[in-house]
Amino acid sequence: MRVLIIGCGRVGGLLAGRLSDFGHDVSVVDANSRAFRRLPEKFPGRVVLGTGIDEDVLRTAGVEQADVYVAVTEDDNTNIMSAQIARSVFGIDRVILRIYDQARAAVYRQLGLTVICPTTTVAGMIEDEVLRSSSTTTRIP
């Protein structure tokens, strides 16, 4: 599978390393060259310096051959725009993006994008833990 990842932060870097370990053909785009230090030392994939919202940069990164597109930069709006370029300009069906803001996440999910919202996910997990601990611990009166 050919995967294009926009944003080489902690999530993007980790994902790129893991997917290429599984034998997938991975390309990573980031506007900051220092971000690529997060990739594993012998990362076999392609690395492209540039913004993920520029069609020419994406072409260089092989967007036209990509099966899956992942937008995980630190900026919600950049991810949103990048994901929509992938879908409407390059016709990629499998587009996954991260949006921290839950209101925006809901809107773009409704528009048919696959949105991961860490805010709701993490809050939900913590909530589960909180509720579990409150039901198992007995408070000393």
Partner 1 sequence: MYIILVGGGKVGYYLTKTLINEGYEVFLVEKNPIKCHTYGERFGSVIMQGDGAEAVTLAAAGAARADVVIAVTGEDEDNLVICQMAKEKFHVGRTIARVNNPKNEELFRRLGIDVTVSQTNVILSLIEQQIPNLPFVHLMSLRHADLAIVEAKVAEHSPILDRPIERIELPPETIVTAIVRKGGVIIPTGQTIVRSGDELICVTKREREGALQELLGI
Contact residues: partner 1, CB under 8 A: 53-55, 75-78, 80-82, 84-85, 88-89, 101, 103-104, 107, 110-111
Taking residue 104's Cβ as centre, other Cβ atoms within 10 Å add up to: 16
Quick one: 61 or 80, whose CB is closer to partner 1?
A: 80
* Cα-only R_g, the chain: 18
Residue 78 Cβ vs partner 1, minimum distance, rounded to whole Å = 5
Q: 3-state class of 70 per DSSP? A: strand
Maximum separation of any 2 CA atoms in the chain, in Å: 66
- Tokens representing 109 are 């999910």
Quick one: 110 or 136, whose CB is closer to partner 1?
A: 110
Quick one: 14 or 107, whose CB is closer to partner 1?
A: 107
Residue 53 Cβ vs partner 1, minimum distance, rounded to whole Å = 6
Quick one: 89 or 131, whose CB is closer to partner 1?
A: 89
Residue 107 Cβ vs partner 1, minimum distance, rounded to whole Å = 5
Alpha helices of 23-141 — where are they, by DSSP H? Answer: 55-60, 76-88, 102-110, 118-136
Taking residue 19's Cβ as centre, other Cβ atoms within 10 Å add up to: 18
Residue 128 Cβ vs partner 1, minimum distance, rounded to whole Å = 26
Quick one: 39 or 70, whose CB is closer to partner 1?
A: 70
Residue 83 Cβ vs partner 1, minimum distance, rounded to whole Å = 11
d(CA 83, CA 53): 9
